[in-house]
Amino acid sequence: MIDTAAQQIIDAGRWIDAQGWCPATGGNFSVRLGAENALITASGCHKGYLSAEQLLQVDLAGQPQASLLKPSAETLLHTCLYQLSDQVGAVLHTHSVASTVLSRLETHEWLDISGYEMQKSLSGNHTHDASIRIAILDNAQDMQALADELSQRWQHEPLAWGFLVRGHGLYTWGHDMSEARRHLEGLEFLFACELEMRRLGANV
Ligand SMILES: [Zn+2]
């Protein structure tokens, strides 16, 4: 189980790095191991060249379990997502240009996206003819405050697929790593389209 989860994280890191979505040691990835813990990337390592020695187990309070490694600073947001829904089995956090810029251009609490065929890459969407909403949280260096904000938003209305942190990046998830990767790829495509539309001043 741990070996499989570790390989999934290593493979995801290589792929995400190749897309340019986690530059300069940014981003962090995790997989749920059970009801009580998850495997997550350690702080400060480049995500394109991960090894199993750079991954550690944490409990769902974000505390390391039997490891001297320091978990990623943003571990609390991963474990918060695992606590909020038992349907969350893997979490990917990235720092792409599109998610960083778009989350600054959009000043509201939600990013609304509609009219794109690729919305169907997000589980539960079967048509372009619908609007999807991605929550945007204001950035903070206090991870507990950000996790509390995430919990409050979720209690008000459960979030689907992912959320943006303003000027920072994207958190996305799935019931397993395969779905999380599809959501990441779909959302990044949609963000890139939306950014291009805004750059062109398109109003549709
Ligand atoms: Zn980050």
What CATH number is given to the structural domain containing 128? 3.40.225.10
- 93 annotated ligand-binding residue: yes
HEC string of 61-72? CCCECCCCCCEC
| Dist. CA 167 → ligand 1 center (Å) | 10
| Dist. CA 139 → ligand 1 center (Å) | 9
Cα-based torsion angle of the residue sequence 105, 150, 171, 76 in order, rounded to the nearest 10 degrees: 130
pLDDT digits (tens, 9 = 90+) for 16-67: 999 999 988 889 999 999 999 999 999 989 999 999 999 999 999 999 998 8
| Dist. CA 131 → ligand 1 center (Å) | 27
Single-letter residue type at 160? A
Question: Is position 54 within any domain?
Answer: yes
- Tell me the pLDDT band of 204, cut-offs 50, 70 and 90: low
pLDDT on residue 125:
81
Angle between helices 97-105 and 177-199 (to 10 degrees): 60
| Dist. CA 190 → ligand 1 center (Å) | 20
- 78 annotated ligand-binding residue: no
- Tell me the pLDDT band of 182, cut-offs 50, 70 and 90: very high
Report residue 12 CA to chain centroid gap. 12
| Dist. CA 62 → ligand 1 center (Å) | 16
| Dist. CA 33 → ligand 1 center (Å) | 22
Residue 129: DSSP 8-state: S
Provide the number of structural domains found in the chain. 1
Rounded CA-CA distance 198/204 in Å is: 10
The three-state secondary structure class of 112 is strand
Residue 203 has pLDDT above 70, yes or no: no
Q: What are the backbone angles phi and psi of residue 188, rounded to the nearest 5°?
A: -60, -40
pLDDT digits (tens, 9 = 90+) for 113-171: 999 888 888 888 887 878 899 999 999 889 999 999 999 999 999 999 999 999 999 99
Residue 181 has pLDDT above 90, yes or no: yes
| Dist. CA 26 → ligand 1 center (Å) | 6
pLDDT on residue 128:
81
Question: Is position 176 within any domain?
Answer: yes
Whether the model clears a pTM of 0.85, i.e. scores above it, the answer is yes
Which residue has tokens 């065929």?
A: 117
Question: Is position 185 within any domain?
Answer: yes
| Dist. CA 73 → ligand 1 center (Å) | 8
Question: Is position 39 within any domain?
Answer: yes
The three-state secondary structure class of 114 is strand
| Dist. CA 195 → ligand 1 center (Å) | 20
Rg (CA), the chain: 16
| Domain extent for 43 | 2-199
Question: Is position 45 within any domain?
Answer: yes
| Dist. CA 204 → ligand 1 center (Å) | 31
